[in-house]
Structure 1
């Protein structure tokens, strides 16, 4: 039995040495031969051989399918880009511009000019954008021809998501901020409150927007964990040093007033700019026309500002002009009906504010919105309730 076992071991050792000799006799290095041998062993039988520079490369079925999809997508994007460039050149010729210097902003202005009044909603107008801005992006190849993934976190299923959280982005930035904070404490330097990161006018991107940034599908708990981690970064006293990274995942808050299209100034036969607007307050309705290049005249129902006997009502109607610095620069002609003096003053104030949007810049319009000049006052007189003396007042209760 011992002889049989010894002969078996000798034969196995000869077989192993023969395999080693064959492996070493190849022209490729040892580590490369191991690499290709493991790839060939893991490659399914449905493979295709590509010969280039006297080397044989075997593609897996998944890689072939990916290459086919990538080629189809590239061909589609090429055709769409070609059509976009042709359309942009035609549009430039229609507008009398040079096609070589016709930018995307010029395209938007041309569409806005060609459709001035037919479509009142800007979002319903025709859209002409570059295909990269219209169609969803596709993630690049995540593995090479041999099937090895490029990213170290490929097998997590969410390499981009975990890369942002743990590898070198979020966690690395927090470590750098902690080290910087330790140095400031060591040198007795206190944090200036005015240098803290201000993100008041922005908000975090939604789950769908984050998926478009990472090109990966996320679960709700993964998105929630991401927001918690980013808020932890914002709470750091030196978070202003990571402003560029934080603003990648935040978007500016767009107000409804900014989405509303501001009408352009109109001109009289003499060339003077003017703009008309309406305003409501309680049961009062006002129509106001502002004339530029004026002397500051104020007319209400064919009377001057003394139409309002109460000084508080006068302050209400001239406040928008004072706020925008247009007092004395425009003439105001207002016609108001219905309601009392307080309601009429509020209606005229709102109408003046709406008309002033065409005379000032966008920053001033935003300040007017924050000051409440562009918002209608919805308060009205409350009705009397049955069994009560008034809307809120009760009859005096007497025990006897």
Structure 2
């Protein structure tokens, strides 16, 4: 190769190298620009989130000051000590000072703390780089799918433990508890579940969660995950010690444990004597249940406490009813049976389950009187403009 050709080759190589360097610099500049745009967008999103949090905290602080000032002023009006003015007394004062005849309680005036009125704000769900902290972030219901997966993992864990106890002969077989057939009333309602996870779910999603929790609680080894199940059980409202129940005693004639209870609905009264153990005999006023209550709905209402406590065919009942109306008689009889079962059975099987389903609640409603100028209590004559 001559000196001229070598010079031309070197110049061509330098030109190619300079072109490659310019292209690489342009690519690196575009890449750094795109990364800068992404980082700036992430920083802006974090700034926007922090700004919203500061705005929400500022609103809550202002509302708290106004609430405290209003609470102190309300205590002075009612003659209470502002320091020991409880929320229950606040509600009573509002009901006394601002009486309302509105039927819907949500439409009545209230005076509550700000954190009970304003919805809670979700925490930051991504890190500094913008990556979601929750692995279920892209499911649009991350908290719901998280508890669903936790329940599935718990179920598979106890199923594997159950299988290994039989496959491995050296392992001592676990003690199996009596299968408890759970009902939908054993677990928290859809509204309470949405409050817990701070998300809105559909009825189909709630049914899926309910079926999964029932399968988990009905497994023979469910006591291994009892803490997880109890976390989603329905909470009993109010202390259970306030409900007075009759004391069971031994019948000298039949030598069986028995208890007597009363029930009332409007002008209907029911007196029940329940014997345990029994064969399922049910007599009302000396006759069969079908003869006194021919309607299917009334019989289902009466047997409902027995179904909830799984005592159908295991007790004998002798009842006496008096009053008018078939549905009121059935309601009074159901209340008396529920009180007998709550007194006779253990707390977990009887009292707690009946409290959750509302079978131990006394219905004190009466028929409303006829209003003057109207045809009935609520029925009014047809109004015509002309």
Q: TM-score if structure 2 supplies the norm length?
A: 0.48
Kindly indicate which of the two structures has a greater share of residues assigned to helix: 2
